[in-house]
Amino acid sequence: MPIIHARVDERLIHGQVATVWTNSLGAQRIMVVSDSAVKDQMQIGALKMAKPAGVKLSILSKRKAVEKITAGNYNEEKVFLITKDIPDMAYLIDHGVQLTSFNVGNISQKPNSRPIKKSVALTDEDVKIIQRLVEDKIKIAAQMIPSESDESILNFIK
């Protein structure tokens, strides 16, 4: 698979993703998968400005991402995949994107969510999805930066 790393980060592309993660992974393309971002010209512009120079960018809906990834469109590249939330990442996996792991970097607190780490707050739905994916042998870490431990997210869910 061309996907060298997958991450859930509601901020999508920002300082840590644009510099630390992309450089440490040697990513050639950042793929943002978000049904809302593909329809928002202001967000598209911001994502294009935030991506590192020399790194390609794809902004795709979930359906289009599944279609293009499973068709092998990116097989010659090192792709860093980012979704805004856990349900979107689960959608990709459930629809044929072959991922064995992903990390959760930043999900801010919202109504009906609870913090499990400084930068991660999960809803009950998020927790159920995580537990199902882990049972399906997907490794999920709660990790802000590459040098931080890639400890299982289940260790933070109490």
Sign of the Cα torsion 73, 74, 75, 76 reads: positive
Two structure tokens written together for 69: 């990834």
pLDDT tens-digit readout, 109-141: 999 999 999 999 999 999 999 999 999 999 999
pLDDT tens-digit readout, 73-97: 999 999 999 999 999 999 999 999 9
SS3 per-residue string spanning 53-100: CCCEEEEECHHHHHHHHHCCCCCCCCEEEEECCHHHHHHHHHCCCCCC
> Cα(67)–Cα(97) distance, rounded to whole angstroms?
9
Q: Which of 54-68, 84-98, 137-151 is the least confident region?
A: 137-151
CA 125 to chain centre: 17
Two structure tokens written together for 4: 């060298």
Which residues contact residue 48 at a Cβ distance below 8 angstroms, ignoring those fewer than 6 apart?
57
> Cα(127)–Cα(120) distance, rounded to whole angstroms?
12
Q: What's the mean pLDDT in 13-37?
A: 90
This prediction has a pTM of 0.94
Residue 109's identity, in one-letter code, is Q
Domains of the chain are 3-155 (3.40.35.10)
